[in-house]
Amino acid sequence: MDLGISGRTAAVAAGSAGLGLGSAKALAAEGVRVAICGRDSERLAAAAAQIDGDVLSIAADLGNPDEGRSFVEQAIAGLGSVDILVTNAGGPPPGMFDTTEMDAYQMAFDMNCKAMIEMCRVAIPPMRERGWGRVCAITSVGVKQPIPFLFASSVARAGLTSFLKLTAREVAADGVTVNSAQPGTHWTDRVSKMMDQEQAGQSNPMGVCGDSDDFGAAVAFLCSEQAKFVTGTGLLIDGGQATGLLD
Ligand code: NAD
């Protein structure tokens, strides 16, 4: 299916590996010109080599929310515009009630909530002026079902999700959609540091982990022309992992 976004431009944060890279690849395969960011120039170069077309690589540490804003500003300057914003970053370290210190909450808030808000604040106003835009935030299944060993992550992403919902309604009449893609367990560097692949697959009703490229295809759909009436929602891409009804 042609997603109707060929010739558009996208900023994909933390697109140097994992789910961000899967998203950048899927958008580029649709003919979208892509900017990615990450902290490490070698990883950025390796990622750019896997993405179709000319890729704009920008160094940014999203642990500093100002660098989130700067990433989108540089993407707009380099690409001429940003029609599609995929917010994403690394994930906070594990921790429970007893083992999560206050500074871990602050770091998660800065990287997984405030940096995303900064990116949206730069990208969305020109999208509204042009009458077309797509924002897709990569968050987590933890938004629907908080993860007991990821306190800081679950708390920060809940805050971001409120921001996304409110923003979606405020900008809906201007042709801009705002959604989130909520991963369950996908086999990426992050997950490989927390568990082995067999263990990760066993926690899923499908018995396997998700795949970054499949995840990216779902993100590309949320950013498509055809998804113009989908906004303010969170799409679980979790192989049936979440057990609640309200999804
Ligand atoms: P990953 O670690 O495989 O890749 C993350 C990418 O972000 C890497 O390219 C890394 O270099 C970059 N990055 C990390 N910290 C950064 C920073 N401070 N500034 C800029 N770039 C940074 O992670 P992933 O599995 O692709 O996860 C992406 C996001 O999705 C994370 O926030 C993660 O917590 C969340 N998530 C992932 C899963 C999963 O199963 N993979 C599940 C739920 C939520």
Contact 211 CB / ligand 1 (< 6 Å): no
pLDDT per position as a tens digit, 83-116? 999 999 999 999 999 999 999 999 999 999 999 9
Residues 6+ apart with CB under 8 A from 196: none
Please compute the mean of the pLDDT values over residues 135-160 and round it to a whole number.
97
Strand 55-59 relative to strand 84-87, pairing = unpaired
Q: State what percent of residues in the chain have pLDDT above 70.
A: 100
**Atom 5 of ligand 1: nearest residue by CA position:** 90
Q: Which atom of ligand 1 lies at the shortest distance from residue 18's CA?
A: 26
Contact 47 CB / ligand 1 (< 6 Å): no
Strand partners, 177: 134
246 in Cβ contact with 144 (< 8 Å): yes
User: How many residues are recorded in the chain?
Assistant: 247
Compute the mean pLDDT over every residue in the chain, rounded to the nearest whole number.
96
79 in Cβ contact with 71 (< 8 Å): no
Please compute the mean of the pLDDT values over residues 37-49 and round it to a whole number.
97
Predicted confidence (pLDDT) at residue 21 exceeds the cutoff of 70: yes
pLDDT at 190: 87
pLDDT at 227: 98
> Ligand 1 mean position to 174 CA, how many Å?
30
> Ligand 1 mean position to 163 CA, how many Å?
20
47 in Cβ contact with 17 (< 8 Å): yes
pLDDT at 199: 86
pLDDT at 247: 58
CA 108 centroid distance within chain: 15
Count of helix runs (H) and strand runs (E) in the chain: 9, 7
Contact 62 CB / ligand 1 (< 6 Å): yes
Predicted confidence (pLDDT) at residue 2 exceeds the cutoff of 80: yes
pLDDT per position as a tens digit, 168-221? 999 999 999 999 999 999 999 888 988 888 888 988 999 999 999 999 999 999
> Ligand 1 mean position to 15 CA, how many Å?
9
